[in-house]
Structure 1
Amino acid sequence: MKKRIKEIRFNLIAWLIAGNMFVVFRFFGMYDFEQYFILKKPIEMELMFLEGNIVAVVNGLLLSLVDFFLDTPKFKRRSFRYILTFKSAAYIVTMFFSIVSIFVLHGIIINRENNLMYSLLYTLNSQYTIALYLYGAFISLLINFLKEVNKKFGPGILVKLFSGRYYNPRIEDRIFMFIDLQASTTIAEKLGHIKYSRLIQDCFYDITEVVARYKAEIYQYVGDEIVLSWELEKGIENDNCFQFFFEFRKKLDQVSGYYRDKYGIVPIFKAGMNCGTVTVAEVGELKKEIAYHGDVLNTASRIQDQCNAHNKPFLISSNLYKRIPRSGKFKIDLIGEVLLKGKLQPVAIYSVESTR
């Protein structure tokens, strides 16, 4: 529900900005022409802004409705090109009918035009309507493109890149989870390269439905492994970082029939978590991204490697154990101190199990 509200809010704000920009570009400065009697009728800017905002709000709501109807598992599994083309076409067609309807109603209500057909033909042939429609089509393509690119980078990452927030390296306290497919080598040998890759695509698709709910950020996809991150406060709030893992396993259980029928197996994931201070920086020139540097990530990865050795699906570090509140929703047991690969000193690790 929160995701849907955010999408509607984004559409409304984007279209209100675009609508007011159109009015400014089209009519600002027309008063100069009125002074020299080039215009026969003065421009009523208040009315123009009102019309622009009405068109913007209607388009924002209608296109949010288009997003709602296209927000299906089958559609979201399509290629980037297909989604961008289809949604843009749906946006443009929807916008055309909304603009025409608004201006026909304007002719009937404001201008007292009783002939519906005349009002419709006048609207369709009006240069103003054509200019507005072409502008709206461009804005539709731009908004849709930005939405899809934002998904490719990950929610919020595009804004951080545009704002230059991490152009200069910064220090942050964050939680990291390395989550990996269990028995991946055996499964890959059984399925073959292509079918195994499709399995990973399906698993990663299912995990994205849980990410936003528990305020996680997808940092990297590495083979059949996903690296997730939380700001420290968001991660420990309501046990988000713990709940995410068990909710993802629950999601896989719910669609286990799909995986069993298509691949002959039900995927099981294991995870390792750690928290601490990292350096965050914008890196790359040909391909920019936000990168995290620090031993926190290496430790989280090594903890995840211990899952098989201790026959536990979910392990955490002592650093995270000390920070996380005790809510009673999870059973946390000390495994012991383990000398992780690349470490000089042993690290205490804990197993986490859901009590529900």
Structure 2
Amino acid sequence: MRYQRLRFCFVAPLLGALAGLLYAFVFAADTLTASALRGAFIGAPILLYERGVLAPRWRNRIRQAATPLFAAATLATYAVMIVVGNAMAGTVLNRVFGHMRSAREAMIMSETGFAYALGVSAVIVFVFRVRDLIGPSVFTNLLIGRYHRPISEERIFLFLDVAGSTRFADRHGDLAAQAYLGQIFNALALPVRRSGGSIDDYIGDMALVTWTLTRGRRDAACLRCVLDFAATIAAEAEAWQARFGQVPEFRAALHCGSVVTAEIGFERHKIAYFGDVVNTTARLEALSKSLGADLLVSADLLACLGPLPDDLVAEDLGTHAIRGRDEPLAVATVRQR
């Protein structure tokens, strides 16, 4: 994650510079050097902001708002970045390249330039909002048509079920229960993103998370995701208690194997997974309740992960019959040392 952010810190100014050059070619305004530099200083902060590098708390806060409020707040944030970025670019252009007679004059942005920057920003807002609504991984895969034709691939699945949500709804009502679940799933988003996974669906009080085999195996990322989520909940226990009267508890089951992944639907497209692996993961989540294990991992996944990192330890929970499978499946729980 840190490497990806560092790499994007170099990529963002280049993308901004390209947008600036496009503006120079389309509107024949300013020199190529000035347009590219302005584009870099304006575009980089916006892209880094959307990547969660700049002002992450503010970004996460407004992402939870209704779409009209989200759009207004995001465009206002972009407008501030455009003005500040242009001022910084103008200062550099004047003092380094001798552009314009004064830095103040170089800071002045044309109405066309501001409208162009704001228009591009509006497109970015729209794209990222759609991306947030359907999920980053699903959005990218739908955009490039990766699963337009069904393909067979190896994946890791996590079924994470919020324990006690029905009792919470009985005590506080459905609206309060929805707010409660919403906050829990919001808290899950960052651990999933850090681990390179994707929240592919929500089914009632359960979240379905997937990883490609490569990403999920790297440093046992799929296991660390669950442990990271548990640590996040524990660290904010007082806040949960104060707002909802209880600290969330959950059960998680992890399994891996071969599935067929396909894009389905006509008016509403969706990435769907077909195969016994998905059903087995659901059965393991149910088994975790009877075993009293917050985290249940199949022996198949442990074998796929190989030797666990030194800070993780697996505890064998025996072999159990799984409905829908001819052979019983060995399971374990994983904890940090």
Q: TM class by shorter-chain length?
A: 0.7 to 0.9
Q: Say whether residues 1:48 and 2:31 are aligned partners.
A: yes
- Does the residue aligned with 2:55 lie in a helix, a strand or coil? helix
Q: 2:64 aligns with which of 68, 71, 77?
A: 77
Contact preservation (8 Å) 1:99, 1:133: no
d(CA) in 1 for partners of 2:106, 2:38? 17
Alignment of structure 1 residues 141-156 onto 2, 5 Å: 141-156=122-137
Give the deviation of 1:104 after TM superposition: 7.6
Alignment of structure 1 residues 117-266 onto 2, 5 Å: 119=105, 123=108, 129-266=110-247
Give the deviation of 1:196 after TM superposition: 0.8
Residues 185-222 of structure 1 show CA distances to partners (whole Å, capped at 9, x for unaligned) of: 22221221111111101101111111111111111111
Give the deviation of 1:339 after TM superposition: 3.4
Contact preservation (8 Å) 1:191, 1:263: no
d(CA) in 2 for partners of 1:143, 1:9? 19
TM-score normalised over the length of structure 1: 0.83
CA distance 1:219–1:270, change in 2 (3 Å): same
Q: Unaligned stretches of 5+ in structure 1?
A: 28-42
Q: CA RMSD in A?
A: 2.7
- Matched residue, 1:34: none
Q: How many positions carry a matched residue from both structures?
A: 329
Residue type at the aligned position of 1:69: A
- Matched residue, 2:79: 92
Q: Answer with 326-335 or 52-61: which moved more.
A: 326-335
Q: Say whether residues 1:283 and 2:264 are aligned partners.
A: yes
d(CA) in 1 for partners of 2:295, 2:219? 18
Give the deviation of 1:282 after TM superposition: 1.5
Contact preservation (8 Å) 1:318, 1:347: no
Residues 122-155 of structure 1 show CA distances to partners (whole Å, capped at 9, x for unaligned) of: x56xxxx222221111011112222232222222
- Matched residue, 2:26: 25
Contact preservation (8 Å) 2:153, 2:259: yes
TM-score normalised over the length of structure 2: 0.87
Contact preservation (8 Å) 1:220, 1:227: yes
CA distance 1:10–1:218, change in 2 (3 Å): farther
- Matched residue, 1:58: 41
- Does the residue aligned with 2:136 lie in a helix, a strand or coil? coil
Larger radius of gyration: 1
